[in-house]
Amino acid sequence: MDYDIIFTGGGAAALILLYKLSKDENLSQKKILVIDKEKKNINNRSWSFWTNQKTDFDKIVYKEWQKVRFIAPKIDKIDTLNSLKYKMIRGIDFYNFVNARLSKFENIEFLQAEVSEIKSISDTEAEVKLTSEFENRIFKTEYIFDSRFTKEDIPPKSNEYHSLLQHFFGYVIETDEPIFDTKVAQLFDMRLPQRNAVEFVYILPFSPTKALVEYTLFSGQLLENKEFYKVRLESYITTKIKVKDFKILEEEYGVIPMTDFKFEQSKAKNIIYLGTKAGRAKPSTGYAFLRMYRDAENRINAWQKTGKPHYEEKFNKQFETYDKMILNIMERNPEDIQRIFTEMFQNNSIERVLLFLDEQTDFLTDLKIMASVPSAPFLTSIKNLVTGKKGEKLH
């Protein structure tokens, strides 16, 4: 056996689990290899989430906000969160923080290479094969944690489930004049044309002159090329923020699946999927960081108790149903989401809505929220789910 554990893919899901593993006296002694085809040394993404709990990464939270804003054609609402805080972690800070800790362990190795195949040999042995570019090298291990996610992993269109994409393009911009309120995170500005998609912009201000401005879509397909995203984002900056001159400091682009497709887990007990590959992105919002964090906690707890990194997941059927209903509306008539979100945020505190979106509410609260939004789109979704039909677009 070459290693006790091999991670194929070294993104957020793998690094969260590795960090937690490194804090355990016994698990941290295992011989570990992390294989990733890219070096994690640039700031090409960020993670945002809301929580009232402490995490291992509070030290590297780049900015947090207790005031949040929702804007749509008929509403402009700012709320102060009570127990929650909206937090943002920059990719480069996360990578540097985790790698600084892992570098102290001589038994943890990193290899920049591309994996061609992983397979289970027996219950106690698995192997990883590299591509021909890396001489088809083979490593044997007890466990493989696989978090590689490519376009091929995105579920194809099907009548059996909903399959949408969250795709986003953002700039960190710097302006000459102080225009941003640093105390307020703008989570949604839905005053955009809803062009057969859910479209909005969010703004996370870092200083009066510096902010992340991100254009986001929920839809069935990507725009033709990046230039379309740039044009729409820059149009928003000039017309809504009303800034003509700005400096682009950083750029980020990403695609996240939004689907109620049941991501298949490996049939082999010693090959374990992580992150988006394991369906950790919430179907109706795409948020994943806390879900990956909780998954890592559960795996470490199970490992400590049973000697194996497996745990029985508890699925909340009510939230699975809500996700299916929202996805059905997005796929069938996405323009309805603007009206649904407007009334949901107008008739509830933003904190209640955020807790609901994070599956942290009880059934009574869920009923109150559902009663506060237009019923017709949801009734159609319920009918479609009961009959097993996804429904037709209304335009």
Condensed to tens digits (0 to 9), the pLDDT of residues 254-267 reads: 999 999 998 878 88
- Please state which of the four CATH numbers 3.40.50.10680, 3.30.9.10, 3.40.50.720, 3.30.565.10 is assigned to the domain occupying 163-259: 3.30.9.10
Sheet of 46-51, strand order: 46-51, 85-90, 63-65
Q: How far is CA 95 from CA 47, 206, 277, in A?
A: 12, 20, 20
308 vs 386, more confident: 308
User: Would you place residue 315 in the very low, low, confident or very high pLDDT band (cuts 50, 70, 90)?
Assistant: confident
The per-residue pLDDT for 389 is 66
User: Would you place residue 44 in the very low, low, confident or very high pLDDT band (cuts 50, 70, 90)?
Assistant: confident
The per-residue pLDDT for 3 is 97
Average model confidence (pLDDT) across the chain: 94
The three-class DSSP label of residue 254 is strand
- Are 20 and 158 in contact by the 8 Å Cβ rule? The answer is no
pTM, entire model: 0.92
Residue 289 has pLDDT above 60, yes or no: yes
If you count them, how many residues does the chain have?
Answer: 395
The arithmetic mean of pLDDT across residues 268-297, rounded, is: 94
**How confident is the model over 183-227, as pLDDT tens digits?**
999 999 999 999 999 999 999 999 999 999 999 999 999 999 999
The arithmetic mean of pLDDT across residues 45-52, rounded, is: 94
Specify the residue for token string 């960090």: 19
Q: Under 8 Å CB-to-CB from 16, ≥6 apart: which residues?
A: 98, 292, 293, 296
Identify the sign of the CA torsion 248, 236, 216, 87. positive
CA atoms of 366 and 371, how far apart (whole Å): 9
CA atoms of 25 and 45, how far apart (whole Å): 32
For residue 366, how many C-alpha atoms fall within 13 Å in the half-sphere facing its CB?
Answer: 16
The per-residue pLDDT for 304 is 96
Give me the DSSP letters along 14-65: HHHHHHHHHTSTTGGGS-EEEEESS---S---EEEEEESS--TTGGG--EEE
- Are 270 and 143 in contact by the 8 Å Cβ rule? The answer is yes
CA atoms of 315 and 392, how far apart (whole Å): 29
DSSP state of 205: E
The per-residue pLDDT for 391 is 55
- Are 330 and 377 in contact by the 8 Å Cβ rule? The answer is no
Encoded tokens for 72: 């749509």
**How confident is the model over 72-114, as pLDDT tens digits?**
999 999 999 999 999 999 999 999 999 999 999 999 999 999 9
Encoded tokens for 237: 């900056």
- Please state which of the four CATH numbers 3.40.50.10860, 3.50.50.60, 3.40.50.11900, 3.30.43.10 is assigned to the domain occupying 3-61+91-154+263-306: 3.50.50.60
Give me the DSSP letters along 63-78: EEESEEEEEETTEEEE
Domain residue spans of the chain? 3-61+91-154+263-306, 163-259, 317-387
For residue 28, which of 290, 297, 300 has the smallest C-alpha distance?
A: 300
- Quote the Cα angle for 354-356-360, to 5°: 100
Identify the sign of the CA torsion 336, 289, 390, 372. negative
Residue 42 has pLDDT above 90, yes or no: no
CA atoms of 91 and 88, how far apart (whole Å): 10
Same fold for the pair 3-61+91-154+263-306 and 163-259: no
| Percent of the chain predicted with pLDDT > 90 | 86
Q: Which of 38-42, 194-198, 327-331 has the lowest mean pLDDT?
A: 38-42
The arithmetic mean of pLDDT across residues 172-181, rounded, is: 97
- Are 13 and 298 in contact by the 8 Å Cβ rule? The answer is no
